[in-house]
Chain A
Amino acid sequence: MIENLKYVVLVLAIMLALVLIAAGLIWLERRMLALWQDRYGPNRVGPFGVLQVTADMIKIFFKEDWIPRFADKKVFVVAPSIVMITILLSFAIVPFSPSIGVVNLNIGILFFLAMSSLGAYSVVLAGWASNNKYSLLGAMRGSAQMISYEVFMGLSLMGVVIMTGSFNMRDIVLAQSRVWFVIPQFVGFVIFFIAGIAEAHRLPFDIPEAESELVAGYHSEYSGMKFGMFFVGEYLGITLISALITTLFFGGWLGFHFLPPIVWFLVKMFGFILVFILLRASLPRLRYDQLMSLGWKVLLPLSLLNILVTGAIVLYLNNR
């Protein structure tokens, strides 16, 4: 009984921490963008402007939550919750430290891939239910982008799976105790990173919501907390991809002994979040056909080649 209660508290604490981190990232992103663009950014509310997030959240909660009359009401309401649910569920398989983690699944990576492929529905359904041409265009771009990038997002991880011999995230972390997978699986890391940016539709791959062409893409018609869920969902997506890169390629919680494992995990994760923000600060948006040809003509063959070479080397080393 006590064990069960402890587990429930742990799960709730992880979820709360993740949502708080995602909300905090809104402030962090604006502050870092400002730093890199030689401005101040939000710096008035509270120390260093940290409470700006609270102000924004209060504003977004009290805004009128308007559903357009021409929209498909039920689907319109369901769509934003799908992104939050799928991403929060994906975090279930992430081992934050040897003792902190929700579930130890033997199909860990596959579970993440399943959830990320379901996440595409949030974009598609939001765009369709809004019944607005810009939203629909954004949704179509989004679904095409997410379907194509999911293909080699999964394939790029198979190198790691081959080297570990397991889909289990904890096994993958422990297999990196000698050398982090970023060194033998560098190609896989680069492909996963690019596919991860496309999955989280962040710049330079934010084509589904390109504001200079499509107003705000698939969430043009959303307001209030429904928009807030897309907004926080995007930052949760960044956190998820950063956490996964940390776990799969940078040794997860492993590190030197002077810091506890969870701190190592968070340090690495925030490093990648900052890289995501720096990408937004520095890169222009790709054109749609460039995105597609990069995906299918360059990254897909590369990821297949990566699997072939990794498999051959592992077989050779095992049989020697």
Chain B
Amino acid sequence: MNSLFYIAAIIAIIATIRMVTGTNAVHSLLYLIVSLLAVSVIFFLLGAPFIAALEVIIYAGAIMVLFVFVIMMLNTGSTGVKKEHELLKPSTWIGPGIISAILFGEMLYILMRPASHPMTSPVIQPAAVGALLFSKYILIVELAAFLLAAGVIGAYHLGRKEKLSYHRYLKKEEPTT
């Protein structure tokens, strides 16, 4: 159990580092997907199979596909790689590096304290997660629903356009613009 955890953790760390340092956008995204899958394995090992499945379905399966989709449409090619090389200069990464180092130090401090949590915990069934979401955390769920509804309406508004069709079979009336 422990060795599986460490294997998944090392894969996640290596993949994330490759994701940050890579210059090709699609390759970076693929490393990020590998990292998410490794994190999902960790969730599974820690006794949260439901969260592990959702991690793969939502993050790796839906959000990352959209990322790849957008990068594919932009299709920057070699110019994108050149730009990424410029971004990897020390002057750009030193600021974020310091912030990450502080966070890493805090994490080490928490982990070093004697009262640490044991790694094995009881397996949480999907029904338990659902019951908590709709009782204790109902307010957060509803707020998230508001946010999503606002996003959907905004996207609809931005994407709405008068349909112009010049084909003689499809044309119903003269375009109004």
Which of B49, B53, B54, B73 has the largest number of chain A CB atoms within 10 A?
B53
> Is the C-beta of B125 less than 8 angstroms from some C-beta in chain A?
yes
Contact present for B62 and A117 (CB under 8 Å): yes
CB of B57 within 8 A of CB of A140, answer: no
Contacts of A74 in B (CB 8 A): 27
Q: Which of chain A's residues have a CB closer than 8 A to the CB of B60?
A: 114, 117-118
Residue B61 is within 8 A (CB to CB) of chain A in the complex? yes
Residue numbers of A with Cβ under 8 A of B are: 72, 74-75, 105-107, 110-111, 113-114, 117-118, 120-121, 124-125, 127-128, 136, 139-140, 143-144, 146-147, 150, 154, 165, 167
Report the minimal beta-carbon distance from A141 to chain B, rounded to whole angstroms: 11
**Cross-chain contact B75 with A147 (CB below 8 angstroms):** no
Interface majority SS (helix, strand, loop, mixed), chain B: helix
Check if B126 is an interface residue, CB within 8 A of chain A. yes
Per the bound structure, the CA–CA distance linking A99 and B91 in Å amounts to 62
Which residues of chain A come closer than 8 Å to B61, judged between CB atoms? 113-114, 117-118, 120, 150
Interface residue count for B (Cβ, 8 Å)? Answer: 24
A128 touches B66 (CB 8 A): no
Give Cα distance in the complex from A195 to B69, angstroms.
Answer: 20
Interface string of B39-61 (1 = CB under 8 A from A): 00000000001101110110011
Asked if B8 is at the interface (CB within 8 A of a chain A CB), the reply is no
CB-based nearest A residue for B49: A107
Q: Which residues of A are found within 8 Å of B127, using beta-carbon distances?
A: 165
Instruction: State whether the Cβ of B26 lies closer than 8 Å to any Cβ in chain A.
Output: yes
Q: Which residues of A lie under 8 Å from residue B69 when comparing CB positions?
A: 124, 140, 143-144, 147
What residues on B are CB-neighbors of A114 within 8 Å?
Answer: 53, 56-57, 60-61
Residue numbers of B with Cβ under 8 A of A are: 26-27, 30, 33, 49-50, 52-54, 56-57, 60-62, 65-66, 68-69, 72-73, 75, 125-127
Q: How far is the CA of A152 from the CA of B125 in the complex (A)?
A: 23
Contact A140–B26 (Cβ < 8 Å): no
CA distance A105 to B73 in the complex (A): 38
Q: Which residue of A lies closest to B68 (CB)?
A: A124
Q: A110 to B50, Cβ gap below 8 A?
A: yes
Contact between A110 and B53, CB atoms less than 8 A apart: yes
Contact across chains for B73 and A118 when beta carbons are under 8 A apart: no
How far is it, in angstroms, between the C-alpha of A107 and the C-alpha of B128 when the chains are bound?
A: 13
B27, B30, B72: most-surrounded residue (chain A CB, <10 A) = B72
A117 lies within 8 A of B68 (CB): no
Closest to B56 in A: A114
- Chain A CB within 10 A, most for which of B50, B65, B126: B65
A121 to B32, CA, bound (A): 13
The residue in chain B whose Cβ has the minimal distance to the Cβ of A105 is: B49
